[in-house]
Amino acid sequence: MSGVTPVTQLARFVLVLDTSLLEEMRTEFPGIEELLESGVKSIMATPLVHRDEVVEFLATATSVEDAYTPEHVGAAERISAQISGALANSRLHARISRIAQIREILVQIGREASVASNLQDLYAGVINSLKDLFPVDRSAIAVRTENGNSLLNEHVSGIEIEGLEEGQILSLDDMPDGILSKAQLISAYDVDDERIEDPSGGIWAKAGLMSNIRRHFGRVTPLSDS
């Protein structure tokens, strides 16, 4: 489980955890015992709701026992009403700025592709641009050989992994059928899922690469079942 709660299930009311309730929750909920041991005796969590969506949470805690009263809850609700819209607008602005950034990076990739004098320059330019889009510790571009039975690692940058170096030829016979027929995302949460087709056979995870995006380009004929 990822531990992410859908926004539709988030509380839309101020939640107060007094001292006795925290003590009851000590052994049942992760983190409560650490809070109590650090001296926290009262907690108040205020959802910041904009257009029926919880956009943020404002949480306060104190070492005073049973500190939060209905008066405090009312004040927290008024604060929420005043700043929720501003926070939502800030998030929207951030998304718009990110979209603009992505478009500019894609344009830059197109420019580099048009002036690249060889494939290695093209690969290096594309990978450098990708680093501005998302985290990249290792990247590899592999092409299918003429006989169709193997992949050649034409370009590798970043973390070196034994057996997956640049120039290494990988036999498709050693990979699951259809490994090239679809894009796939692998993360720390699903790396052990039997439905995930990991062409590295777990080598990526052992090297400390806990997230992976694999994308094929062009038309690929799925491998046969024979």
- Tell me the per-residue pLDDT of 107-150, one tens digit each, with 9 for 90 and over: 888 888 888 888 888 888 888 888 888 888 888 888 887 777 77
Q: Which residue, of 57, 92, 127, is where some domain finishes? A: 92
Which value, to the nearest 10 degrees, does the dihedral of the CA atoms of residues 45, 49, 55, 57 take? -10
Asked whether residue 172 is assigned to any structural domain, the reply reads: yes
Same-domain check for residues 26 and 86: yes
**Looking at per-residue confidence, does 8 or 212 come out higher?**
212
Q: Which residue, of 92, 110, 137, is where some domain finishes? A: 92
Q: How many CA atoms lie within 13 A of 95 on its CB side?
A: 6
pLDDT(195) > 60:
no
Contact residues for 216 (Cβ-Cβ < 8 A; gap 6+): 180, 181, 182, 183
Asked whether residue 106 is assigned to any structural domain, the reply reads: no
**How many degrees, rounded to 5, is the angle at CA 144 between CA 142 and CA 148?**
155
The total number of structural domains in the chain stands at: 2
Same-domain check for residues 88 and 131: no
**Bridge partners (DSSP) listed for residue 184:** 214
**Looking at per-residue confidence, does 197 or 214 come out higher?**
214
| Average pLDDT, integer, range 24-47 | 91
Q: Which residue, of 92, 109, 138, is where some domain finishes? A: 92
Same-domain check for residues 85 and 158: no
pLDDT(225) > 50:
no
**Looking at per-residue confidence, does 177 or 34 come out higher?**
34
Starting from the edge strand earliest in sequence, which strands make up the sheet with 138-144, in order?
138-144, 150-158, 169-171
Q: For residue 197, what pLDDT is reported? A: 60
Structural domain for 72, as ranges: 9-92
Q: For residue 189, what pLDDT is reported? A: 55
Backbone phi, psi, residue 152, to 5°: -110, 125
pLDDT(36) > 90:
yes
- Give the predicted TM-score (pTM) of the model: 0.46
Q: For residue 161, what pLDDT is reported? A: 83
| Average pLDDT, integer, range 198-222 | 64
Same-domain check for residues 51 and 126: no
**Looking at per-residue confidence, does 97 or 185 come out higher?**
97
Asked whether residue 181 is assigned to any structural domain, the reply reads: yes
Asked whether residue 4 is assigned to any structural domain, the reply reads: no
Asked whether residue 82 is assigned to any structural domain, the reply reads: yes
